[in-house]
Every structure is written in structure tokens, then in C-alpha cells.
Amino acid sequence: MFRYMHKINPFYKCVTVIVLALMLTFTTSPMLNIGAFMICTLLLITGSDKIISALKLFIPMLLIATGLFISGANIGGSQQSGLFLATRVIAFMGFGMVFSLTTDPYDFMRSLQKNAKLPRKFAYGILCAFNLVPYIKSEYTNARLALAVRGVRLSIFSVKPLFSMLVNSIRWSETLSMAMQSKGFDGE
């Protein structure tokens, strides 16, 4: 029973999520937003084994939705506008979780190549970028640690470690670009 969502063609799953999200964009019903999120939650519970991951994603989004509800109620002048904003975020989060937690990136790229006729060089580039994310995160952590060793006090929102991270990311992208060209992925 579990994992049936993982077996659906990723390209068709992506198109379905985009179409449903676009349809939801043109509505103003908080109940429709809540219904969409409930359906997404049901799909995750019955069709995936990533419930813990979904809960980890839900907690920060619940904080964002709460902030939007409070802001919408105070600035918008009514609780209805705050409720609409909060439920809209939760509905879109549900769509994103269904897709991201039930889709393997490599299967998605293969599906895009086969079904959407995405050129191989774009698929390869997207997978390279996807695989760089852990290195970028690690580089950010290392930059923060290096600054801490030097005695530089950093706040949570400090941008100082970003410079080192960006410089190394540019180096990695240049290396990947040369590797792609050596593999025959240069402009056609």
C-alpha cells in the first residue's frame, strides 16, 4: 500500500501539481485551501513512507502560516483575509510536499528527458546543481566556523559567511562547466 505515490511518472506528477496549484491560485476560498492540504496529507500518509520528513517541513510552515494569519488579520482588517493567506500557504506547502517527498530527482530528470523532451545537457546541469546543494551547505558551515575561530561574532542573519560560500560555488560551477564540455555537453 505504501509508496504508490513514488511509482507515478514524475513528469505527470509535476504537471498535475502545477495545474492544481494554478487552479488554486485563482480561488479565494480558505475551505478549498484546507481541503487541498488535507488531500495532500492523505496522499502522503497513504502513498509515501516520508511522514516524519513531512512533519519536519510542516512545523516551520505552520509558523509562517501563523505569522501570515496575524499579519493578514491586522493589516487586512479582517480575520477572513488572514485565514485566506494562512491557508493558501498551507495548501501550496501540501502540493510541494507531495511532489518533493515522493519524487526521486534522478527519476524526475529521466522523465523530463523522455516525456518533456528536455535536452540532456539541461538535465545534466540540473542534476549537477542539485548535487552541489550539500557542498554549498557544508561550505557555509565551514565559513561560519572559520569566522568563529577568528573571534568574529556572527548573528544568525549575518552575511559574512555567504561571501566564501559564493566564491567556492562559482569555482565549483566553473569546474562543472568544464567537465560538461569535456563530456560533450557544450553548445549544439
Q: What is the pLDDT of residue 2?
A: 62
Residues of the chain scoring pLDDT < 70: 1-2, 185-188
pLDDT tens by residue, 39-77: 999 988 887 778 888 888 888 999 999 998 998 888 877
Report how far residue 183's alpha carbon sits from residue 188's, in angstroms, rounded to the nearest whole number.
13
Q: What is the pLDDT of residue 17?
A: 94
Report how far residue 57's alpha carbon sits from residue 24's, in angstroms, rounded to the nearest whole number.
21
DSSP 150: T
Q: What is the pLDDT of residue 188?
A: 53
Asked if 81 and 90 count as a contact pair (C-beta separation under 8 A), the reply is no
Query: What is the value of pTM for the model shown?
Result: 0.73
